[in-house]
């Protein structure tokens, strides 16, 4: 999903006559810029765990109805370890959904560094997971589609090793509203204070509207075609239900779930994948 944004930005940069660009990729992972860092810290306290345990008693019925609520329910029923927070925060489909769609129970890697530093543990998970498997790959492929060279100074191995050696608490500094305060301090003499203090920014393409309007016929034609869906090795009825649920309650399902299933089916068809 992030790759499409990178494609659009890379095209705009190249059209501006730029051939080499710097990316801040790795900054959030190293300097605790994602919500997963504070979430893991909050859930590490005994009081938070007791509250979650109590909330989990309401069950799926009371807390279901949106992606965020379902993730909250999963966190409430987890061990609230950093690895649990990372996995649930970053998942596209829940474990139950994966089982329904694929017919297989998902396996989770439970290893973590046991350092006791929650912030640095989340950093390691973000760096080795989301960044390595998605962000770096997408940035490389989508930028080179426009012959744009993107360099990622925050992922320099010496910098990564050094920042991971620092106490994680330095990277959050209590309730500071400034994003990535440690990084902001490091470059305070180089950038305007207003720039450093502004909220984290991004942009989202209107996929939800596109899937409901311009792309609806195309996506429906694929996800309701059992022969085209089956070649990707997923359950046809489960996939169709994801699409139907999205059309009925788009915010509760999220556009990325039916879109990913559509892309998977199209990729298998284009690459002539045959069902096992």
pLDDT single digits (tens) 164-203: 999 999 998 765 567 788 998 898 888 888 887 777 777 7
Of 89 and 76, the structure prediction assigns the larger pLDDT to 89
pLDDT single digits (tens) 223-276: 999 999 999 999 999 999 999 999 999 988 999 999 999 999 999 999 998 865
At residue 114, the pLDDT reads 55
Name the burial class of residue 88, with classes exposed (0-12), middle (13-18) and buried (19+) by CB atoms within 10 angstroms of its CB. buried
CB atoms within 10 A of CB 101: 21
In the predicted model, is pLDDT for residue 149 greater than 80? Answer: yes
**What does the block give as tokens for 130?**
């989301």
At residue 101, the pLDDT reads 94
Considering only CA atoms, which of 127, 155, 145 is closest in space to residue 14?
A: 145
pLDDT single digits (tens) 29-68: 999 999 889 888 888 877 666 666 666 555 554 445 567 7
At residue 275, the pLDDT reads 67
At residue 112, the pLDDT reads 54
End-to-end CA distance of the chain: 27
DSSP secondary structure code for residue 146 in this structure: T
pTM for the model stands at 0.82
Q: How confident is the model at residue 218 (pLDDT cuts 50, 70, 90)?
A: very high
DSSP secondary structure code for residue 95 in this structure: H
At residue 50, the pLDDT reads 67
């Amino acid at each position: 999903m992030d790759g499409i944004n990178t494609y659009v930005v890379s095209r705009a940069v190249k059209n501006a006559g730029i051939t080499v660009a710097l990316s801040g990729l790795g900054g959030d992972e190293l300097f605790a810029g994602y919500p997963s860092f504070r979430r893991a810290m909050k859930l590490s306290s005994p009081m938070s765990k007791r509250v979650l345990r109590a909330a989990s008693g309401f069950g799926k019925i009371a807390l279901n109805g949106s992606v965020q609520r379902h993730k909250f329910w999963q966190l409430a029923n987890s061990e609230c370890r950093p690895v649990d927070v990372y996995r649930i925060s970053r998942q596209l489909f829940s474990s139950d959904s994966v089982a329904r769609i694929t017919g297989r129970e998902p396996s989770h890697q439970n290893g973590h560094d046991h350092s006791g530093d929650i912030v640095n543990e989340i950093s390691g998970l973000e760096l080795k997971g989301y960044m390595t498997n998605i962000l770096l790959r997408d940035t490389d492929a989508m930028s080179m589609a426009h012959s744009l060279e993107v360099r990622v100074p925050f992922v320099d191995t010496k910098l990564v090793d050094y920042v991971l050696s620092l106490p994680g608490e330095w990277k959050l500094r209590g309730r500071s509203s400034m994003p990535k305060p440690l990084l902001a301090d490091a470059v305070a003499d180089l950038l305007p204070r207003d720039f450093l203090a502004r909220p984290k920014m991004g942009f989202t393409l209107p996929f939800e509207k596109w899937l409901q309007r311009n792309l609806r016929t195309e996506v429906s034609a694929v996800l309701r075609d059992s022969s085209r869906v089956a070649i990707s090795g997923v359950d046809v009825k489960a996939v169709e239900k994801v699409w139907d649920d999205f059309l009925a309650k788009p915010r509760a399902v999220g556009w990325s779930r039916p879109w990913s299933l559509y892309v998977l089916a199209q990729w298998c068809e284009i690459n002539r994948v045959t069902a096992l």
